[in-house]
Structure 1
Amino acid sequence: MKTSSIEPFFATLKVANPHPVTELEYTNAFELLAAVLLSAQATDAGVNKATRKLFAVANTPAKMVALGVEGVSEHIKTIGLFRNKAKNLVETSRILVEQHGGQVPHDREALEALPGVGRKTANVVLNVVFGEPTMAVDTHIFRVSNRTGLAPGKNPLEVEMGLLRRVPPEYLHHAHHWLILHGRYVCQARRPLCEQCQVLRYCDSAPPELLKKLTAAA
């Protein structure tokens, strides 16, 4: 993607959705951390269905520890890899209680030291809870960044670093949400909905016949 196209690319996404938010349901920092931890290889809708029941009985680290692995497993068994996720969530909760006063730390190193919390999860928490301009590169962002030419990379870290370099500062805070939603609903994996794409004119992979139509209509 041409550098000159990046600002109008994000400006267009912003007009369509001025205040994008995560589709995971949460009411506090711990619930968000738990939901993102559970979301690996699962849909947000599937996670929300499970966490509605889970958070009703355990919405703090102390309550999650008290519920235990078996109790957590019973609530999240509809989610893939639920047993391992339950173990990680309870252990993460224990560490939060014992080492962080039951609070989610505002520190990347401390977040990534928690079981089941990788760089992507830490980036979501740092962005959504603490307002940091991070890029949580999931499969949608990885695909959109490569397909459009916005920030090509061979792995998530390369894409993340490319996005941090190329996204204009005024769009950094919400950029990863715009890209996730665009990948989830428009720039889909199997068949991108190019005919519905509002930023098609800036995309490196835009079908020539659709670009001709855009030019003719302008």
Structure 2
Amino acid sequence: MVSGEDVLQAWFVLAVAAGYVTTLFLVAWWGDRRSAGGPLVSPNSWAAAISYCLTLAVYNTSWSFYGSVGRAATSGLDFATIYIGPTLVLLFGQTLLSKVIAIAKAQNVTSVSDFIAARYGKSQVLAAFVTLASLLGVLPYIALQLKAVGKSFDYLILQPERAGGEALRFWQDSAFGVAASMALFAIVFGVRHVHASDIIAG
């Protein structure tokens, strides 16, 4: 039996989530309009350095909250390797990264499949194969992300039975709402005008 307090809790969480997503949309819309006339900040400014550091936080996804904490609890410092590796590349792999960026700009590539295909005569067959392999490889990871966000939402609205794997129709699943929001965000702000410089800057 769901009490009135539980319903109030659910509406509060929904309101906060809606406000957060709305804020993301407004910031993306503002940045999209401002960047049409050039970069938002000077590439050599402190603001650019701070912005770049903040964008690195995207590496820590929703699944990191569960996965990294779980691995730390069971395996100790073993979880740290997935953070140390990229950090070392950013610190000591500048030459390699510079070459990748130069090739991406020269070939105007915007994806891994474009990049690999460009190295082999822009083979469309190879690009399609890499795209398919990437899709198959990333789907389980995306599913984990959506499941993590959905479970977190279900626990926050005090409905642990939903997070426990109870069979639900797809429109009742929190992960479905998250996926729909992400898809809308990507359509509105992600794929309207894709350019290699946008990918590299992002």
- TM-score, reference length from structure 1: 0.29
Normalized per residue, the structure richer in helix is: 2
